[in-house]
Amino acid sequence: MKILILGGTVFLGRALVAAALARGHELTLFNRGKTNPQLFPEVESLHGDRALDLGPLTQTVRRWDVVIDTCGYLPRVVRLSAETLVERADQYTFISSLSVYADAGQPGIDERGEVGKLADESVEVVDGDTYGPLKALCEQAVERVLPDRNLVIRPGLIVGPYDPTDRFTYWPHRAAQGGEVLAPGEPGSPVQLIDVRDLAKWTVAMVEARASGIYNATGPERPLPMGELLDTCRAAGGGGASFTWVDETFLLAQGVQPWSELPLWIPASDPSSAGFHRFDCRKAIAAGLRFRPIEDTVRATLAWDAGRPAGHTWRAGITREREAELLEKWRQEKTL
């Protein structure tokens, strides 16, 4: 197949390129050429800012079997891409997000769940409040331009090698350092995530099958407790870490930010978040989505993390100093 990937050099994009090349597909990448431009020298790369100039996609007479849009956040920009490619591609695959759903307070949300809305749909500021509704509007833009010729994939937390967010990497890295590790909430709390390589491989299989429709895409197939994940990180890292589980009420009182300062942690006491880590992905699983063992993801993440510069600035997680301070306060509180 001839596949055009919008993006293709960051995290999911680079995993999609690797998966598609492994299947023998002919690829074209369209991006700004600013991030990891040295990747995939064997692949045709066209450069431009999709928000301003899609000219490189129209300068020659060509068609693609499939477009995979990995980096669409604003509906105006996604609509422009879809309109430019409507006569140049047979199918448009849009990578969306589980954040589109309006009510994360209900466990078991499937693809029929109501999506979020914006009072002002012209907003182009992407933040925690607008990200999900903007992604939903992007989906709708693709559907309007290419009805019945689009595939929408809604991933949850994507993890694994080359993750720029550190939202998962923090835990394998911290466990490998050893010592006492602050673990938030309860060890039995469920966690949902998907290895970027599994998501990429399945996405390529779906476009090969010319699939259409909307699919929630996260895992694993069976419930994964946070405690099991951290035990896996400890075993893979070999650092002999010990986990101290700290009550979420205490953490919130100390101003600890869920998800960002302690990744994967969503307070059970927040009714508006009861559906996080509990999305229904049976449709994607029935369509062939499969998940590698979490041990594989942890080990691959550690191997990649070990090669990063020593001065890397972490984008998620707390410092060792802050962690030690919280643990000491927690011990003091428990002795009162």
Residue type at position 3: I
Contacts 24+ apart (CB under 8 A), 24-33: 25/1, 25/204, 26/1, 26/2, 27/2, 27/3, 28/2, 28/3, 28/4, 28/64, 29/4, 29/5, 30/4, 30/5, 30/6, 30/54, 30/56, 30/57, 31/6, 31/7, 31/71
- Compute the distance between CA of residue 202 and CA of residue 197 in angstroms, rounded to an integer: 9
Residue 53 has a pLDDT of 86
Where is average pLDDT lowest: 53-62, 196-205, 282-291, 314-323?
53-62
Residue 174 has a pLDDT of 97
Residue 311 has a pLDDT of 85
Residue 310 has a pLDDT of 85
Average pLDDT taken over every residue of the chain = 96
Mean pLDDT, range 264-275, rounded to an integer: 92
- Compute the distance between CA of residue 2 and CA of residue 20 in angstroms, rounded to an integer: 10
Domains of the chain from N-terminus onward: 2-155 (3.40.50.720), 170-192+221-277+294-335 (3.90.25)
- Compute the distance between CA of residue 28 and CA of residue 6 in angstroms, rounded to an integer: 9
Mean pLDDT, range 255-268, rounded to an integer: 96
pLDDT tens digits for 31-71? Answer: 999 999 999 999 999 999 999 889 999 987 689 999 999 99
Q: Reply yes or no on whether the pLDDT at 170 is more than 90.
A: yes
| Percentage of residues in the chain having pLDDT higher than 70 | 99
Look at the pTM and tell me if it is higher than 0.85. yes
Residue 208 has a pLDDT of 98
Q: Which helix (H) or strand (E) element contains residue 199? A: helix 196-208
pLDDT tens digits for 112-134? Answer: 999 999 999 999 999 999 999 99
Q: Reply yes or no on whether the pLDDT at 21 is more than 90.
A: yes
Higher pLDDT, 335 or 127: 127
Bond from prior residue into 75 cis (ω within 30 degrees of 0): no
Residue 79 has a pLDDT of 97
Answer for the pair 207, 94: CB distance below 8 angstroms, yes or no: no
Angle at 21 between CA 16 and CA 27, to 5 degrees: 80
Q: Reply yes or no on whether the pLDDT at 334 is more than 90.
A: no
Which residue do the tokens 């929630």 mark?
216
Banded pLDDT at 335 (limits 50, 70, 90):
confident
- Compute the distance between CA of residue 203 and CA of residue 286 in angstroms, rounded to an integer: 14
